[in-house]
């Protein structure tokens, strides 16, 4: 049971890292070509480029559809890591209760 607590806690830390990295990637925007210069051209927009989907192709000249791909990938990663945070959090609590309270088998019953 103690190993389950450690494994779940490690999974929870990984999920939190994935959530923060994905959120930062969405906020910062993709690397693309704009005005003959490659770079993070959307990092100063604080993520407001996400609301203006009609101008994505005009904002990023190369690679084509980079913003759509970027937003889709990182949105899916945010959703998956949120689910992982919930599941690992529940498992940490469950395993901690198991460590503190022991198992539910009766002492005299052979298994």
* pLDDT digit string, tens, across residues 50-90: 888 777 777 788 888 888 888 999 999 999 999 999 999 99
Residue 109 lies in a domain: no
| Domain extent at residue 65 | 1-99
**How large is the greatest C-alpha to C-alpha distance in the chain, in angstroms?**
77
The CA angle 43-45-47, to the nearest 5 degrees, is: 85
Total number of domains constituting the chain: 1
Residue 55 lies in a domain: yes
DSSP code of residue 37: E
Query: What pLDDT is stored for residue 109 in this prediction?
Result: 57
The two counts, helices (H) then strands (E), for the chain are 3, 2
Q: Give the whole-angstrom CA distance, residue 12 versus residue 57.
A: 37
Residue 5 lies in a domain: yes
């Amino acid at each position: 049971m103690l190993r389950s607590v450690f494994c779940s806690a490690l999974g929870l830390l990984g999920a939190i890292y994935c959530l923060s990295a994905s959120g930062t990637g969405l906020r910062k925007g993709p690397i693309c070509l704009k005005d003959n210069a490659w770079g993070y051209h959307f990092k100063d927009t604080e993520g407001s480029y996400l609301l203006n989907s009609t101008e994505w192709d005009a904002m990023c000249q190369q690679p084509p559809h980079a913003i759509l791909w970027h937003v889709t990938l990182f949105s899916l990663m945010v959703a998956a890591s949120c689910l992982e945070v919930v599941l690992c959090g529940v498992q940490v609590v469950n395993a901690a209760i198991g460590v503190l309270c022991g198992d539910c088998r009766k002492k005299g019953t052979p298994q």
